Amino acid sequence: MSDRRPHKFPTFSSPDEQRTHMKQRMAAAFRLFDRFGFNEGVAGHLTGRDPEHPELFWVNPFGLSFGLIRASDLILVDHEGKVVEGDWPVNPAAFAIHSQIHAARPDVNAAAHTHSHYGRAFSTLGRRLDPLTQDACAFYDDHAVFDDYTGVVLDVEEGKRIAHALGDNKAAILRNHGLLTVGTTVDAAAWWYITMERTCHVQLMAEAAAGDPILIDDECASLTASQVGSEPAGWLSFQPLYDKIVADQPDLLD
Ligand SMILES: [Zn+2]
């Protein structure tokens, strides 16, 4: 890479510039989700709130592989689920869930959900993650369980109930379904997703080892959460992944 300067949180001189930046971050997140194996057929979505029209959001085209998505492939969807920019359809579940989260949480500019393996496996337990490791503390007292699986989410009323369960947390475990994470930036939402999936993996392995994993105590977990679980920490953690995927797959920026 030619640009090896330290990362700085971006500022923008126009909504156009901010939109382009956000869409490139989204395309990079999809390529990373593909690299990490978060694909499951046509399932999974990541949304980004439009910087100029906050009631509209950008999302992946329904049926296009995460591994092929470029910034210019993303489609723009309105509050009724109509595609207002782009030729592809929107996944009805993406609209039902994400529209309600973006509506309920003005602070949330991005939301991610896929059917990744370890999140899906952990979701069947119907409980929250324990503070077993430093990384797990990013979710300490900051994630919820939506424990009422009723089939594929196609109804905005179901999306409303998921948004309600999410509350003001950064993530939710959708029981018998998978993980959902949100952020003030695409970078943070994508990072929370990646690290939450790995956190599920680690907890499943630790518990499968037939031992009795030692929990971090409440006071230390709270302190660690403030260190690794903040939005700036989530944003920063995504930057090395972004740099690498852009270096490997520069067409994602198109
Ligand atoms: Zn799903």
pLDDT of residue 97: 95
Distance 151 CA to ligand 1 centre (A): 10
Distance 61 CA to ligand 1 centre (A): 15
Residue 222 half-sphere exposure toward CB, CA atoms < 13 A: 2
Amino acid at 147: D
Distance 107 CA to ligand 1 centre (A): 22
Distance 252 CA to ligand 1 centre (A): 24
DSSP state of 168: T
Over the stretch 218-251, which tens digit does the pLDDT of each residue have? 999 999 999 999 999 999 999 999 999 999 999 9
What does the pLDDT average to over 158-183? 97
Distance 115 CA to ligand 1 centre (A): 6
Distance 216 CA to ligand 1 centre (A): 31
Over the stretch 180-189, which tens digit does the pLDDT of each residue have? 999 999 999 9
Distance 53 CA to ligand 1 centre (A): 26
CB 85 within 8 A of CB 162: no
pLDDT of residue 2: 57
Tell me: pLDDT of 167 over 70. yes
Distance 92 CA to ligand 1 centre (A): 11
Tell me: pLDDT of 1 over 80. no
Distance 150 CA to ligand 1 centre (A): 12
Tell me: pLDDT of 22 over 60. yes
Percent of the chain exceeding pLDDT 90 equals 93
Distance 113 CA to ligand 1 centre (A): 6
Q: Considering just the CA atoms, what is the radius of gyration of the chain in Å?
A: 17
pLDDT of residue 150: 84
H-only helix segments in 105-166: 117-123, 156-166
Distance 73 CA to ligand 1 centre (A): 21
Distance 120 CA to ligand 1 centre (A): 10
Phi, then psi, of 23 in degrees rounded to 5: -65, -35
Distance 129 CA to ligand 1 centre (A): 19
Q: pLDDT band at 34, cuts 50/70/90?
A: very high
Over the stretch 80-126, which tens digit does the pLDDT of each residue have? 999 999 999 999 999 999 999 999 999 999 999 999 999 999 999 99
Distance 10 CA to ligand 1 centre (A): 31
Over the stretch 37-79, which tens digit does the pLDDT of each residue have? 999 999 999 999 999 999 999 999 999 999 999 999 999 999 8
Distance 70 CA to ligand 1 centre (A): 22
Name 179's bridge partners.
114, 173
